[in-house]
């Protein structure tokens, strides 16, 4: 009676036609990494599902806890796997039904159609058996799923929701601008959910780089690790930029800093073979995030910039941050790149002025120097972090 497998169904993967095998193998690898170190027999691909074979040492709850966060999974179920034989199905079903508190509805699906029996034959067998009939109620919300494949049948009553979306890595890599705020962790999650492998880039205001390594930023990145299993984090100091731009009108500083961050992100994208830059901006959320400013900021940047939060209200973003459990970290006090957080930034910056300041402050050279002072860390789930 005890569950001996976990059946995993993929979601949107089936929409992907020709690329399907890439998505399926990426998801397979991601699941393997996520449950690495846990006790199980093996992970198998079986037609339109993956099956984790459990063993006596397996802790089902720990495994399902990891599976919940993996993009690309639509749902999964701890299940009893038996032979695809109608008598065995009836016997196992009877055992499950007699243990249930209330009558249950039965839903049968055959993913292999060449058996001698139909789905209806199975339902009929359950309805006409004296043993099972009293435990069946076709109006019940609780369901016993009977999934019949070629060799095996899977019986389960719990359908656990997966993260949906596409497996991380299937859409390539992107450089994600990660701040200490509420928005960018949510943007990171949404990007990962669409198959993006994250390379985080954070600009810090501390004199001493050790301070950022001990700050909440690596903790935020770690919090997001359950979606991607692994992530690189670039830490770049902001002070050279601040010194170089001391003389420009303060109103322009934020827009100029964003241009500088994009330029840096573009260089990282090139190095890491990443295809896009992701930010936590949403249109009109604050004075600095007007369409005009976004345009002026990204002028001259060739890499695609994605803003997954574009259409979200702050309240929706906060709700999502709470759900992701990043909110508490995001509101912890943190010394962000502060002089740049002025109250009244220019709301209609023009790209010509930004280009001009970029040149007059010699920001290309500043960028090179900043890159030399940066450090990278690789995070791996279940392994802690490695610095270089």
* Residues making contact with ligand ATP (CB under 6 A): 177-179, 181-184, 201-203, 261, 279-281, 285-286, 288-289, 336-337
Q: How far is the CB of 179 from Mg ion (least distance, A)?
A: 4
By CB under 5 A, residue 330 contacts Mg ion: no
Judged by CB, which is closer to ligand ATP: 96, or 191? 191
Q: Is 204 helix (H, G, I), strand (E, B) or coil?
A: strand
Measured CA to CA, the distance from residue 341 to residue 197 in angstroms comes to: 29
Measured CA to CA, the distance from residue 105 to residue 24 in angstroms comes to: 32
Phi, psi of 330 (to 5 degrees): -65, -30
B/e letters for 14-27, b = 16+ CB within 10 Å, e = fewer, are eeeeeeeeebbebb
Residue 293 touches which member of ligand ATP, Mg ion, none, C-beta under 5-8 Å by kind = none
Measured CA to CA, the distance from residue 125 to residue 241 in angstroms comes to: 75
Judged by CB, which is closer to ligand ATP: 163, or 337? 337
Q: How far is the CB of 214 from ligand ATP (least distance, A)?
A: 16
Residue 182 touches which member of ligand ATP, Mg ion, none, C-beta under 5-8 Å by kind = ligand ATP
Judged by CB, which is closer to ligand ATP: 54, or 178? 178
B/e letters for 356-378, b = 16+ CB within 10 Å, e = fewer, are ebbeebebeebbeebeeebebbe
Judged by CB, which is closer to ligand ATP: 11, or 185? 185
Q: How far is the CB of 353 from ligand ATP (least distance, A)?
A: 18
Q: How far is the CB of 276 from Mg ion (least distance, A)?
A: 20
Tell how strand 152-156 and strand 73-83 pair up: antiparallel
Other Cβ atoms closer than 10 A to 128: 9
Residue 281 touches which member of ligand ATP, Mg ion, none, C-beta under 5-8 Å by kind = ligand ATP
Q: How far is the CB of 339 from ligand ATP (least distance, A)?
A: 12
Judged by CB, which is closer to Mg ion: 179, or 279? 179
B/e letters for 51-73, b = 16+ CB within 10 Å, e = fewer, are bbebeeebeeeebbebbebbbbb
Q: How far is the CB of 286 from ligand ATP (least distance, A)?
A: 6
Measured CA to CA, the distance from residue 383 to residue 288 in angstroms comes to: 39
Measured CA to CA, the distance from residue 178 to residue 235 in angstroms comes to: 10
Judged by CB, which is closer to ligand ATP: 80, or 202? 202
Interface with Mg ion in residues 150-189 (CB under 5 A): 179, 181
Residues making contact with Mg ion (CB under 5 A): 179, 181
């Amino acid at each position: 009676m005890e569950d001996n497998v976990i059946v995993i169904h993929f979601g949107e993967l089936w929409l992907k036609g020709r690329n399907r095998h890439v998505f399926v193998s990426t998801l397979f690898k991601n699941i393997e990494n996520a449950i690495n170190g846990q006790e199980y027999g093996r992970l198998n691909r079986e037609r339109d599902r993956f099956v984790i074979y459990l063993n006596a040492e397996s802790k089902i709850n720990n495994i399902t806890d990891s599976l919940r966060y993996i993009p690309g999974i639509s749902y999964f179920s701890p299940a009893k796997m038996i032979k695809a034989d109608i008598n065995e199905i009836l016997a196992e079903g009877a055992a499950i039904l007699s243990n249930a508190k209330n009558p249950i509805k039965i839903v049968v699906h055959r993913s292999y159609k060449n058996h001698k029996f139909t789905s209806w034959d199975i339902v009929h067998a359950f309805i006409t058996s004296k043993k099972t009939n009293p435990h069946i109620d076709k109006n019940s919300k609780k369901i016993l799923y009977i999934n019949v494949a070629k060799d095996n049948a899977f019986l389960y009553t719990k359908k656990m929701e997966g993260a949906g979306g596409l497996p991380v890595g299937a859409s390539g890599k992107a450089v994600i601008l990660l701040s200490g705020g509420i928005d960018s962790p949510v943007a990171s999650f949404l990007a990962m959910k669409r198959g993006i492998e994250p390379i985080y880039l954070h600009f810090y205001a501390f004199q001493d780089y050790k301070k950022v390594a001990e700050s909440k930023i690596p903790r935020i990145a770690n919090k997001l690790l359950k979606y991607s299993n692994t992530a690189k984090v670039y830490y770049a100091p902001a002070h050279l930029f601040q010194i170089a731009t001391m003389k420009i009108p303060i109103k322009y500083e934020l827009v100029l800093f964003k241009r500088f961050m994009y330029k840096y992100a573009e260089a990282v994208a090139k190095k890491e073979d990443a295809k896009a830059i992701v930010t936590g901006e949403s249109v009109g959320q604050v004075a600095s995030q007007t369409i005009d400013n976004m345009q002026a900021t990204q002028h001259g940047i060739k890499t695609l910039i994605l803003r997954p939060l574009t259409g979200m209200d702050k309240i929706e973003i906060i709700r999502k941050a709470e759900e992701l459990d990043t909110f508490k970290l995001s509101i912890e006090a943190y010394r962000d790149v502060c002089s740049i957080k002025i109250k009244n930034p220019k709301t209609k910056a023009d790209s010509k002025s930004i280009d001009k300041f970029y040149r007059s402050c010699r920001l290309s050279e500043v960028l090179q120097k900043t890159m030399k002072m940066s450090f990278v860390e690789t995070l791996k789930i279940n392994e802690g972090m490695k610095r270089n």
